[in-house]
Amino acid sequence: MSMAWGDYEKRITDRKWFTLKVVDDAEADLLVVAPDVKQAVRVGAGGRLEPAGKLHPGTTGAVRYRVVNQGRKAVSGINVTLRLPAGVTFTKPPRECAIDDDGRSAVCAYDALALVPADQDTDPKDSIHSAVELHNLVTVSADTKAPVTLAGGTVQVEGLTERIDARSGPERTELPANAVAVPAADVDASDNQDGFAVVVAKRESDSGGDDGDDGSGGGGSLPITGPQIGLIAGAGLAMVAGGGIMLLLARRRNRLSHG
């Protein structure tokens, strides 16, 4: 390496040689994407979420998020920390989640939800998954003055103990009722956290308009848009919603070599 300093006419140059060791440690790397909540939903037959028009004060929506293992090692489970905006509370959380007294914060331990690296997720019909979509039902306070955008929601995800052989028979994952496996490609490794807002619409009945579904689909799976999310391959798998929590995952790098 050559270094120079001083005036341009009297530059002094010194050369030093040193060894640079590059370490490429294989590790898990979790990504989370959570869009804004804009639609009301209802739980239909079989626990499937169905669109129910715009999200108004006093109605229920679903916070949806996608978690992807874009690293090189598997995780045997995930922890999710969720925080809702003021004026919004969790509705019917799954048994994996603990809700605080104000109903706006949740910590969920999915200790059996294993995620392998994307290059190991080769068969969409097996129980080995590199990515999942989850949801959490939330209710907007009836006292909310609409229209309004309630900002400040966050989701964060953390990988649990890594599994040595993710494809061994007994280790295969049984997804929670509110999750569905989705395919994943390489994505931005820095995406370890995401935020969202809850967009509350004024009731159209107040102005004599139509209060029906605006066609954007409140019960569909996570939309694939934007430069980062566009790298995630959505394979058209239906959302299996179990009336439980839609975890707002945040992307967090977990060095499993320290786990």
CA 94 – CA 113 distance, rounded (Å): 14
Tokens coding 29: 């790397």
SS in 3 state form for the chain?
A: CEEEECCCCCCEEEECCCCCCCCCCCCEEEEEECCCECEEEEECHHHCEEEEEECCCCCEEEEEEEEEECCCCCECCEEEEEECCCCEEECCCCCCEEECCCCCEEEEEECCCCECCHHHCCCCCCCCCCEEEEEEEEEECCCCCCCEEEEEEEEEEEECCCCCCCCCHHHCCCCCCCEEECCCCCCCCCCCEEEEEEEECCCHHHCCCCCCCCCCCCCCCCCCCHHHHCCCCCCCCCCCCCCCCCCCCCCCEECHHHC
Q: What angle do CA 191, 192, 193 make, to 5 degrees?
A: 100
pLDDT of residue 159: 86
pLDDT of residue 245: 32
pLDDT of residue 172: 52
Q: How many CB atoms within 10 Å of residue 112? A: 15
Choose among 81, 66, 88, 216: nearest CA to 151: 88
pLDDT of residue 165: 47
CA 68 – CA 31 distance, rounded (Å): 5
Q: Per residue of the chain (259 residues), what is the pLDDT tens digit?
A: 555 555 555 666 677 787 876 656 678 889 999 999 999 999 998 888 999 999 999 999 999 999 999 888 888 889 899 999 999 999 988 899 999 999 999 999 998 899 999 899 998 888 889 999 999 999 999 999 999 999 999 999 988 865 444 444 434 556 677 776 554 433 444 666 789 999 999 987 655 444 555 444 444 444 433 333 333 333 333 333 333 333 333 333 333 334 4
Q: Confirm whether pTM is higher than 0.85.
A: no
Domains of the chain are 25-207+228-258 (2.60.40.1510)
Judged on CB neighbours under 10 Å (0-12, 13-18, 19+), 30 is buried
pLDDT of residue 242: 36
Choose among 245, 201, 218, 209: nearest CA to 108: 245
